[in-house]
Amino acid sequence: MSFSATRALDAAAWAILLAVVLIAYLTFDDYGLGWDDYTHSQYGQLLLDYYASGLTDTRALSFVNLYMYGGGFDMLAALIAKLLPYDLFETRRLVGAAVGIIGLFVIWRLARRIGGPVAGLIALALLATTPLYYGHIFINAKDAPFAVAMAVLLFGLVRLLEDYPKPRPVTVLIFALGLGLTLGTRIMGGMAALYMVLPMALLIVHDMRADGAKPAAVNFGAFLLRLLPGFLLAYAVMAVIWPWCIREPLNPIRAVGYFSHFFEKPWKEMFDGQLISVPDMPRSYLPTLFGLKLTEILLLLGIPGLIAGIGLSVRHDIPVRRRATMVLLAGAFAIPIGITIITRPALYNGIRHFIFVLPPLTVLGGLAGAWLLHWLAERSRLATAVAAVVMVAGFAVPAVDMVGLHPYQYTHYNRVSGGMRGANHHYMLDYWGLSFKEAADQLLTVLEEKGIATPEGRRWVIAVCGPHPPAEAELGSDFVITWNTKGADFALMLGEFYCAELNAPELVKIERDGVVFARVYDIRGRNIPSLFTEPPITH
């Protein structure tokens, strides 16, 4: 590829990144609070208090169950909120977007490193136009930062395979940062060790065939020795963002045990049109939702890339480090999903817990797309141009969908599912209650426009079906939030199956693509027996 073509492709990648930066900055305050946002913000402040007190204020180390997770993102957002002219929750949105954009950059550079500038550009476009990823970077304090940390770790692991058996210091540094951030965000990230089993086996067997068993063993030993400083640095990074993990040597093991079992009172969620208890979700849960929530272009490129990555493990005509890298990428997507299908843990909230497998899939998709364009270029300019136009259209379709759904991109379902209308009443949509921000804003506007004043001597009482902390934060001090409809003035209802449709005047309705996300009813003077069609989730 010519130098000018490479520069043009890299310029296009930078243009995508800058466009995402600009859009994120202009829209970050449109996103509402998620179900866990308030608690996570408290955890971040408690971690800052822990360090500010000289490690004597240990409230963070026993705070609900969040001490079982790292709090790097929460702590960073709490710190930056003291520096920026935004409130805490707006800052959390902005910091989340920044972290997510770092993930985009890492995936671009990783795919470019493996497959060249075309692969890098396609991988970047795939991830940037995946609503599941883009939507969560603004709102998800655990799963989105974890996905970015895993992307950094994946970059480090690829470099380790390339440099084997003598990884350079910068490679060890990237690996250490990725490993420390991954484990310090969620201990289950330790499964990344499984990703390396087959790739390392390929390298070791190759050395044994080429030089014999003893030199292969020496190479492997030297490799581990060079990684030792990286493991120490990773442990230090993990300790900073997850201080509970080093209070006792066995705490990380205790965290693994804790997350190995479902730790909450079970509830039901909608899957394939049926109400199913979350510990009893079928093995088809993940394959089905990945098929319905990933964009069409990512499915069309990512699945062939995944198959190719697995198939290359037996191709002896391809350099061993290339084979090892492709197997690593395939494993980073397939292993977590395979383990989940086999073990059947509790599954809920769509596939937000599996955002971390999107980066390797988009890299595989970028490599597949680049290979396709290269193969066509050797045969027909017209076919190459047509394929490029189809790819651009494939990126444009979900991008347009994201504009229409804004700021609820995380709820997106693709056209295989029938889109949002097809998924409605069959799957969970706004399970985190993001639409409460828009509903609350519109309610305040309606009250002002109609000249409806706060009752004399008391505040408004609003019964809420859905997460209460977001409603409380958005409505402000003039409202009392309750689960009880008796004596309530209004009812704020999430558009999920467990919230009833009330026989009362509708003041506000939040819709996207014909799907109702939230409603506000005027229930003054009305007898409303319950907000719920199912027992409420009150945590």
The predicted-structure confidence for 463-486, as pLDDT tens digits, reads as follows 999 999 899 999 999 999 999 999
Read off the DSSP letter of residue 299: H
Asked if the model's pLDDT at residue 404 lies above 50, the reply is yes
Residue 197 CB: number of other CB atoms within 10 A?
13
Indicate if 483 and 405 belong to the same structural domain. no
Report the C-alpha gap between 252 and 384 in whole angstroms.
Answer: 51
- Shared domain for 159 and 29, answered yes or no, is yes
Which residues lie closer than 8 Å to 122 by C-beta, 6 or more apart?
A: 111, 301, 365, 366, 369, 370, 391
Q: Is the pLDDT of residue 303 over 50?
A: yes
- CA 161 to CA 113: how far, in whole Å? 13
State yes or no: pLDDT of 146 exceeds 50: yes
307 and 355 share a domain?
A: yes
Supply the pLDDT for residue 2.
82
Q: What is the pLDDT of residue 335?
A: 98
Asked if residue 269 has pLDDT above 90, the reply is yes
How far, in Å, CA of 151 to CA of 178, rounded?
8
Residue 421: inside a domain, yes or no? no
Percent of the residues in the chain that have a pLDDT greater than 70, as a whole number: 99
Mean of pLDDT over the chain: 96
pLDDT in tens, 348-388: 999 999 999 999 999 999 999 999 999 999 999 999 999 99
345 and 491 housed in the same domain: no
Give the separation between CA 257 and CA 251, rounded to whole angstroms: 10
pLDDT higher than 70, residue 493: yes
Q: Is the peptide bond before 304 cis (omega within 30 degrees of 0)?
A: no
| Amino acid letter, residue 512 | R
- Residue 471's nearest CA partner among 436, 501, 445, 439 is 436
pLDDT band (50, 70, 90) for residue 220: very high
For 448, other C-beta atoms within 10 Å of its C-beta total 10
Residue pLDDT, tens place only, 429-442: 999 999 999 999 99
Q: What is the pLDDT of residues 415-433, one digit of tens each?
A: 999 999 999 999 999 999 9
Phi and psi (nearest 5°) for 163?
-90, -10
Indicate whether 538 pLDDT > 80: no
Considering the domain architecture, whether residues 359 and 394 belong to the same structural domain is answered as: yes
Does any domain span residue 269?
no
- The total of structural domains in the chain comes to 2
Instruction: State the pLDDT confidence band at 539, using cuts at 50, 70 and 90.
Output: very low
Query: What would you report as the CA-atom Rg of the chain, rounded to the nearest whole angstrom?
Result: 25
Report the percentage of the chain scoring pLDDT > 90. 93
Query: How high is the pLDDT of residue 260?
Result: 84
Range of the domain at 251: 3-260+277-411
Phi, psi at 270, each rounded to 5°: -85, 125
- Taking CA atoms, 491 is separated from 164, 311, 436, 508, in Å, by 61, 55, 12, 10
Residues 96 and 213 in one domain: yes
Q: What is the pLDDT of residues 78-114, one digit of tens each?
A: 999 999 999 999 999 999 999 999 999 999 999 999 9
Phi-psi region of 488 (alpha: psi -120 to 50; beta: other; left: phi over 0): beta
Residue 532: DSSP 8-state: B
Same domain, 498 and 377: no
Question: Has residue 426 been placed in a domain?
Answer: no
Is position 214 within any domain? yes
How far is 142 from 186, CA to CA, in rounded Å? 8
Quick check: is 491 in a domain?
Answer: yes
Query: Are 393 and 464 part of one and the same domain?
Result: no
DSSP string, 389-404: HHHHHHHHHHHHHHHH
- Residue 77, classified by CB atoms within 10 Å of its CB into exposed (0-12), middle (13-18) or buried (19+), is buried
**Statement to judge: residues 406 and 441 lie in one domain:** no
| Per-residue pLDDT, 315 | 86
Say if residue 447 is in the same domain as residue 364.
no
- pLDDT over 70 (residue 537): no
The answer, yes or no, to whether residue 158 has pLDDT greater than 80, is yes
CA atoms within 13 A on the CB side of 15: 7
Q: Considering only 12-21, 105-114, 160-169, 264-273, which range has the smallest mean pLDDT?
A: 264-273
C-alpha to C-alpha distance for 46 and 57, rounded to whole angstroms: 8
Is residue 198 located within the same domain as residue 255?
Answer: yes
In a domain, 10, yes or no: yes
* 304: pLDDT strictly greater than 60: yes
**What CA–CA distance (Å, rounded) separates 141 from 92?**
8
Cα 87-88-91 angle, rounded to 5 deg: 85
| Strand blocks (E) in 35-189 | none
pLDDT at 143: 97
Residue 384: the pLDDT is 97
pLDDT for 536 equals 57
Q: Are residues 440 and 407 in the same domain?
A: no
